[in-house]
Amino acid sequence: MSDFFITGTDTDSGKTYVTCALLRDLRRRGVKAAGFKPVACGDRGDARAMREAMGEPTLGLDLLNPVYLRAATAPAVAAELESRELSVHEWVESYKRVSGLYESVLVEGAGGWETPLATGKTIADLAQQLALPVILVVGNKLGAVNHAILTVQAIRLRGLECRSIVLNHMAEEWDAASVMNRKLIEEYTGVPVQAELIRDQQEIDSGAVLGI
Protein backbone atom coordinates (compact mmCIF):
# COMPACT_ATOMS: atom_id res chain seq x y z
CA MET A 1 0.00 0.00 0.00
CA SER A 2 1.01 3.66 -0.05
CA ASP A 3 1.22 6.62 2.30
CA PHE A 4 -0.22 10.06 1.59
CA PHE A 5 -0.01 13.65 2.80
CA ILE A 6 -3.35 15.33 3.49
CA THR A 7 -3.37 19.12 3.21
CA GLY A 8 -6.06 21.77 2.95
CA THR A 9 -6.62 25.08 1.25
CA ASP A 10 -6.84 26.72 4.67
CA THR A 11 -7.60 26.09 8.33
CA ASP A 12 -10.94 24.33 8.93
CA SER A 13 -11.25 23.11 5.35
CA GLY A 14 -12.03 19.65 6.70
CA LYS A 15 -8.68 17.83 6.68
CA THR A 16 -9.36 15.74 9.78
CA TYR A 17 -12.93 15.04 8.72
CA VAL A 18 -11.71 13.69 5.37
CA THR A 19 -8.73 11.86 6.88
CA CYS A 20 -10.97 10.02 9.32
CA ALA A 21 -13.46 9.13 6.57
CA LEU A 22 -10.60 7.70 4.51
CA LEU A 23 -9.26 5.75 7.49
CA ARG A 24 -12.66 4.21 8.19
CA ASP A 25 -13.05 3.15 4.56
CA LEU A 26 -9.53 1.73 4.36
CA ARG A 27 -10.14 -0.27 7.53
CA ARG A 28 -13.46 -1.47 6.12
CA ARG A 29 -11.53 -2.73 3.09
CA GLY A 30 -9.17 -4.64 5.37
CA VAL A 31 -6.23 -2.26 5.04
CA LYS A 32 -4.22 -1.71 8.23
CA ALA A 33 -4.20 2.08 7.94
CA ALA A 34 -3.15 4.78 10.41
CA GLY A 35 -3.44 8.53 10.72
CA PHE A 36 -0.40 10.61 11.64
CA LYS A 37 -0.70 14.18 12.93
CA PRO A 38 2.89 15.50 13.26
CA VAL A 39 1.86 18.51 15.34
CA ALA A 40 -1.37 19.52 17.08
CA CYS A 41 -1.98 23.00 18.49
CA GLY A 42 -4.65 23.86 21.05
CA ASP A 43 -5.85 20.31 21.69
CA ARG A 44 -5.35 16.75 20.47
CA GLY A 45 -8.87 16.24 19.18
CA ASP A 46 -7.66 15.51 15.65
CA ALA A 47 -5.38 12.71 16.81
CA ARG A 48 -8.13 11.25 18.99
CA ALA A 49 -10.53 11.31 16.03
CA MET A 50 -7.96 9.49 13.89
CA ARG A 51 -7.42 6.89 16.58
CA GLU A 52 -11.17 6.29 16.77
CA ALA A 53 -11.44 6.02 12.97
CA MET A 54 -8.65 3.44 13.03
CA GLY A 55 -10.63 1.36 15.49
CA GLU A 56 -7.75 1.41 17.99
CA PRO A 57 -9.14 3.51 20.89
CA THR A 58 -6.40 2.49 23.34
CA LEU A 59 -3.47 3.30 21.06
CA GLY A 60 -1.07 5.82 22.63
CA LEU A 61 -1.59 9.32 21.22
CA ASP A 62 2.14 10.07 21.16
CA LEU A 63 2.61 7.61 18.29
CA LEU A 64 0.01 9.36 16.13
CA ASN A 65 0.75 12.88 17.37
CA PRO A 66 4.37 13.27 18.53
CA VAL A 67 4.20 17.03 19.16
CA TYR A 68 1.42 18.79 21.06
CA LEU A 69 1.49 22.54 21.69
CA ARG A 70 -0.98 24.33 23.94
CA ALA A 71 -1.65 27.52 21.98
CA ALA A 72 -4.25 27.28 19.21
CA THR A 73 -2.16 29.00 16.57
CA ALA A 74 0.44 28.19 13.91
CA PRO A 75 2.95 25.60 15.17
CA ALA A 76 5.91 27.96 14.80
CA VAL A 77 4.17 30.57 16.97
CA ALA A 78 2.90 28.04 19.52
CA ALA A 79 6.42 26.58 19.86
CA GLU A 80 7.91 30.03 20.39
CA LEU A 81 5.42 30.71 23.16
CA GLU A 82 6.64 27.53 24.89
CA SER A 83 10.32 28.20 24.10
CA ARG A 84 10.51 24.94 22.16
CA GLU A 85 12.63 24.13 19.13
CA LEU A 86 10.82 22.03 16.54
CA SER A 87 12.68 19.84 14.05
CA VAL A 88 11.43 18.63 10.67
CA HIS A 89 13.97 15.79 10.92
CA GLU A 90 12.38 14.53 14.16
CA TRP A 91 8.95 14.52 12.50
CA VAL A 92 10.32 12.52 9.58
CA GLU A 93 11.73 9.95 12.03
CA SER A 94 8.39 9.81 13.91
CA TYR A 95 6.59 9.22 10.61
CA LYS A 96 8.98 6.37 9.75
CA ARG A 97 8.12 4.64 13.04
CA VAL A 98 4.41 4.74 12.23
CA SER A 99 4.96 3.75 8.61
CA GLY A 100 6.86 0.69 9.76
CA LEU A 101 3.82 -0.52 11.69
CA TYR A 102 1.01 0.07 9.16
CA GLU A 103 0.25 -0.70 5.52
CA SER A 104 -0.93 2.82 4.74
CA VAL A 105 -0.36 6.07 6.66
CA LEU A 106 -2.29 9.29 6.13
CA VAL A 107 -0.18 12.23 7.29
CA GLU A 108 -2.33 15.25 8.10
CA GLY A 109 -0.78 18.69 8.01
CA ALA A 110 -1.69 21.67 10.18
CA GLY A 111 -3.57 24.60 8.67
CA GLY A 112 -2.85 25.24 5.01
CA TRP A 113 0.06 24.28 2.76
CA GLU A 114 2.40 27.09 3.81
CA THR A 115 1.46 27.33 7.50
CA PRO A 116 4.61 28.23 9.53
CA LEU A 117 5.82 25.00 11.14
CA ALA A 118 9.21 25.70 12.71
CA THR A 119 11.89 28.37 12.37
CA GLY A 120 12.17 29.07 8.65
CA LYS A 121 10.04 26.05 7.77
CA THR A 122 6.42 25.54 6.73
CA ILE A 123 4.14 22.52 6.38
CA ALA A 124 5.27 22.34 2.75
CA ASP A 125 8.86 21.70 3.86
CA LEU A 126 7.76 18.68 5.88
CA ALA A 127 5.66 17.38 3.00
CA GLN A 128 8.63 17.79 0.66
CA GLN A 129 10.86 15.82 3.05
CA LEU A 130 8.31 13.00 3.24
CA ALA A 131 7.89 13.04 -0.57
CA LEU A 132 4.39 11.55 -0.47
CA PRO A 133 1.52 12.01 -2.94
CA VAL A 134 -0.69 14.85 -1.75
CA ILE A 135 -4.46 14.82 -1.27
CA LEU A 136 -5.91 18.33 -1.23
CA VAL A 137 -9.04 19.06 0.80
CA VAL A 138 -10.91 22.10 -0.47
CA GLY A 139 -13.58 23.75 1.64
CA ASN A 140 -16.35 24.41 -0.89
CA LYS A 141 -17.23 28.06 -0.57
CA LEU A 142 -16.78 31.36 -2.37
CA GLY A 143 -13.07 31.73 -3.12
CA ALA A 144 -12.39 28.00 -3.17
CA VAL A 145 -11.28 27.99 -6.82
CA ASN A 146 -8.57 30.58 -6.20
CA HIS A 147 -7.36 28.76 -3.08
CA ALA A 148 -7.30 25.42 -4.90
CA ILE A 149 -5.37 26.74 -7.90
CA LEU A 150 -2.74 28.45 -5.72
CA THR A 151 -2.31 25.39 -3.50
CA VAL A 152 -1.96 22.96 -6.39
CA GLN A 153 0.62 25.25 -7.99
CA ALA A 154 2.55 25.40 -4.71
CA ILE A 155 2.46 21.61 -4.34
CA ARG A 156 3.89 21.16 -7.83
CA LEU A 157 6.63 23.73 -7.19
CA ARG A 158 7.82 21.41 -4.42
CA GLY A 159 8.15 18.61 -6.95
CA LEU A 160 5.21 16.71 -5.47
CA GLU A 161 2.16 15.11 -7.04
CA CYS A 162 -1.29 16.33 -6.11
CA ARG A 163 -3.00 12.97 -6.48
CA SER A 164 -6.60 14.14 -6.09
CA ILE A 165 -8.90 16.74 -4.60
CA VAL A 166 -11.71 16.24 -2.09
CA LEU A 167 -14.36 18.95 -2.20
CA ASN A 168 -15.91 19.41 1.21
CA HIS A 169 -19.28 21.18 1.48
CA MET A 170 -19.29 22.83 4.90
CA ALA A 171 -22.60 24.72 4.63
CA GLU A 172 -26.00 23.05 4.66
CA GLU A 173 -27.25 25.04 1.67
CA TRP A 174 -25.45 25.36 -1.66
CA ASP A 175 -25.00 28.70 -3.41
CA ALA A 176 -23.98 29.36 -7.02
CA ALA A 177 -20.27 29.16 -6.17
CA SER A 178 -20.49 25.80 -4.44
CA VAL A 179 -22.39 24.35 -7.39
CA MET A 180 -19.84 25.49 -9.98
CA ASN A 181 -16.61 25.12 -8.02
CA ARG A 182 -15.98 21.47 -8.90
CA LYS A 183 -15.99 22.06 -12.65
CA LEU A 184 -13.75 25.12 -12.36
CA ILE A 185 -11.28 23.51 -9.97
CA GLU A 186 -10.81 20.50 -12.25
CA GLU A 187 -10.51 22.72 -15.32
CA TYR A 188 -7.94 25.12 -13.88
CA THR A 189 -5.83 22.68 -11.85
CA GLY A 190 -5.97 19.57 -14.02
CA VAL A 191 -6.47 17.53 -10.83
CA PRO A 192 -9.59 15.35 -10.54
CA VAL A 193 -12.09 15.93 -7.75
CA GLN A 194 -12.44 12.30 -6.66
CA ALA A 195 -14.90 12.94 -3.83
CA GLU A 196 -17.47 15.60 -3.10
CA LEU A 197 -18.72 15.40 0.47
CA ILE A 198 -21.95 17.01 1.60
CA ARG A 199 -22.22 18.28 5.16
CA ASP A 200 -21.97 15.48 7.77
CA GLN A 201 -21.40 12.78 5.13
CA GLN A 202 -19.38 9.98 6.72
CA GLU A 203 -18.69 7.75 3.70
CA ILE A 204 -15.94 8.16 1.14
CA ASP A 205 -14.42 5.94 -1.54
CA SER A 206 -10.79 5.66 -0.44
CA GLY A 207 -9.94 3.72 -3.59
CA ALA A 208 -10.99 6.61 -5.81
CA VAL A 209 -9.40 9.33 -3.69
CA LEU A 210 -6.08 7.60 -3.02
CA GLY A 211 -5.85 5.53 -6.16
CA ILE A 212 -5.08 2.34 -4.23
In sequence order, the β-bridge partners of residue 196 are: 167
List, for the chain, all residue ranges whose pLDDT scores fall below the cut of 70: 1
Q: What is the value of pTM for the model shown?
A: 0.96
Gap between the Cα atoms of 212 and 209, Å rounded: 8
Residue numbers of the domain that contains 9: 4-210
Closest alpha carbon to 199 in 7, 16, 17, 10: 17
**Residue 121 falls in the annotated catalytic set:** no
Catalytic residue among 37, 96, 121, 141: 37
- Contact residues for 31 (Cβ-Cβ < 8 A; gap 6+): 1, 103, 104, 206
Gap between the Cα atoms of 2 and 152, Å rounded: 21
- Contact residues for 140 (Cβ-Cβ < 8 A; gap 6+): 167, 168, 169, 170, 177, 178, 181, 182, 196
In sequence order, the β-bridge partners of residue 40 are: 68
- The pLDDT of residue 175: 78
- The pLDDT of residue 177: 81
Domain CATH code at residue 127 = 3.40.50.300
User: CA distances (Å), 144 to each of 71, 105, 134, in order?
Assistant: 27, 27, 18
- The pLDDT of residue 1: 65
- How many domains is the chain built from? 1
